[in-house]
Amino acid sequence: MGQMIKVGMADLKICKAPDALTTIGLGSCIGIAIYDPSTKISGLAHIMLPDSTAIRNNSNIAKFADTGIQKLYDDMIKAGANKARMVAKIAGGAKMFEMPGGAASGINVGDRNAEASRAMLKKLGVKLVAEDCGLNFGRTVELYSETGEYYIKAVGKPVKII
Amino acid sequence: MLTLNEVNEKYFDVLKEIGNIGAGNATTAIANMLGLRIDMSVPEVAFLPVEELGGAIGAEDEIIVGIMLGVEEDIDGSMMFLMDMQSAHHIVNKLMMRPDDYSEPFDEMDLSAIKEVGNIIAGSYLSALSGLTNLTIAPSVPFVAVDMAAAILSVPAVQFGIFGDNALMINTEFSDDLGIKGHFILMPEEDSYAKILTALGIPV
């Protein structure tokens, strides 16, 4: 295996084989992994919020599902990924605290993040092949460009590979 | 209207004062509860980019305890109190009268005890805020999570991220024989910032 490249919160990166991408401790955020098996070009975005148009403060495009996934897709195409072959896997979108929360608050944002991520992938024509979203625990994810395997690690749970 | 970043700068000193008084109140309350003499360090207020919040109190994948409460009445929002596992075990062992090296995973009773501690600490900070502003502020029931720091801190990161680029956190150290390190985050809804600042006589 090559290098393990870290993707921060509200951040996105792409890599080529044999490198891998990781983001640590996804809570309500979503880790969107896009993979092209023909070139092994891989991308991972760690988005925090569903919709950049709903928020005034939207300069960091990696923070939002709509603009973040678009940028990840564009970067991968630019790097030579094959549009028709790209597939996506998503993880995260947990509800860390069982708080009741109104629509305006960020407390139940996990479900909306997952929904917005699915919608954006669909809009770009990237097939969503697997997901591990929701529930009430944090997830660390790793995307391996050699295989396209997406590892999901949670506290006290066996590693899940999707 | 000020941006949240500008509001936060004004808010910084206020939060420090809330931290001082609140931690003082909390120290007294916890000392009474545990029957210990507890000293408190002068709290620090950290003002940091939202993206860095996940790693602000230690490694991103370190398991920590987070207690979250809603804030109601004159202002709306939520608040969080965070402790490392060692501090949480220490408090629970004191409360449950167990030996201090006991470190089995928390059971339901332990989690209730942690919630209660969170309640007391949150209440202490809120009464400090309430006293300074003359606003009526009440906490909701507490919720607890034991998980990776980055996952727990993603909750306040999202709250702050909706309005701005920075987050504010009060770091306090309560020390008795072993030491409890805690971090407090107050997350008002956007219009509640204005209410707090106005109540303090700071023009918004």
**How would you classify the pairing of strands A30-36 and A41-47?**
antiparallel
pLDDT at res. A45: 98
* Res A158 pLDDT > 90: yes
What rounded mean pLDDT belongs to chain B? 82
What string of DSSP letters covers B108-145? HHHHHHHHHHHHHHHHHHHHHHHHHHT--EEE---EEE
Contact A9 B50 (CB under 8 A): yes
Quote the CA–CA distance of A123 and A112 in Å, as a whole number.
Answer: 16
- The DSSP call for residue B18 is H
**Minimal CA separation from B43 to chain A, in Å:** 26
8 Å CB contact of B158 and A138:
no
How confident is the model at residue B132, as a pLDDT?
83
B165 touches chain A (CB under 8 A): yes
The total of other beta-carbon atoms located within 10 Å of residue B195's CB is 17
**A103 vs A111, which has greater pLDDT?**
A111
**B200 and A CB contact within 8 Å:** no
pLDDT digits (tens, 9 = 90+) for B109-167: 999 989 988 888 888 888 888 888 889 988 888 999 999 999 999 998 888 888 777 77
The alpha-carbon gap from B164 to the nearest alpha carbon of chain A, in Å, equals: 6
Across the interface, do B51 and A8 touch by the CB < 8 Å criterion?
yes
User: Average pLDDT in the A62-79 region?
Assistant: 96
CB pairs under 8 A between A and B: 115
pLDDT of residue A103: 42
Q: Kindly report the nearest CA distance between residue B204 and chain A, in angstroms.
A: 19
Q: Do B155 and A28 touch (CB under 8 A)?
A: yes
Beta strands in chain B (DSSP E): 39-40, 44-49, 63-73, 77-84, 137-139, 143-148, 166-175, 180-188
Q: Which of A7, A9, A28, A113 should be substituted to probe chain B, the one whose Cβ sees the most B Cβ atoms within 10 Å?
A: A9
CA angle A102, B138, B156 (to 5 degrees): 50
| pTM score | 0.88
Top CATH class, B4-199: alpha beta
Higher pLDDT: B190 or A138? It is A138
Q: HSE on the CB side for B127, CA within 13 Å?
A: 12
Parse chain B into domains and list their residue ranges: 4-199
- Count Cβ neighbours within 10 Å for each residue of A14-37 and write b for 16 or more, e otherwise: bbebebbbbbbbbbbbbbbbbbbe
Q: Are the Cβ atoms of A24 and B54 closer than 8 angstroms?
A: yes
B133 touching A (Cβ < 8 Å):
no
**Is the bond leading into B156 cis (omega within 30 degrees of zero)?**
no
pLDDT attached to residue B33: 77
What are the sequence ranges of the domains in chain A? 4-161
Q: Is the pLDDT of residue B178 over 60?
A: no
Model confidence at B168: pLDDT above 80: no
Using the predicted structure, report yes or no on whether residue A7 has a pLDDT greater than 50. yes
Contact A121, A130 (CB under 8 A): no
What are the strands of the beta sheet with A139-144, ordered from one edge? Answer: A4-6, A20-26, A139-144, A150-153, A160-161
Q: Which two tokens stand for residue B198?
A: 């106005």
Q: Which residues contact B64 (CB under 8 A, 6 or more apart)?
A: B57, B58, B82, B83, B84, B85, B146, B147, B148, B149, B152
Q: B131 CB near a chain A CB, below 8 Å?
A: no
Whether the Cβ atoms of residue B189 and residue B38 lie closer than 8 Å to each other:
no
Top CATH class of A4-161 equals alpha beta
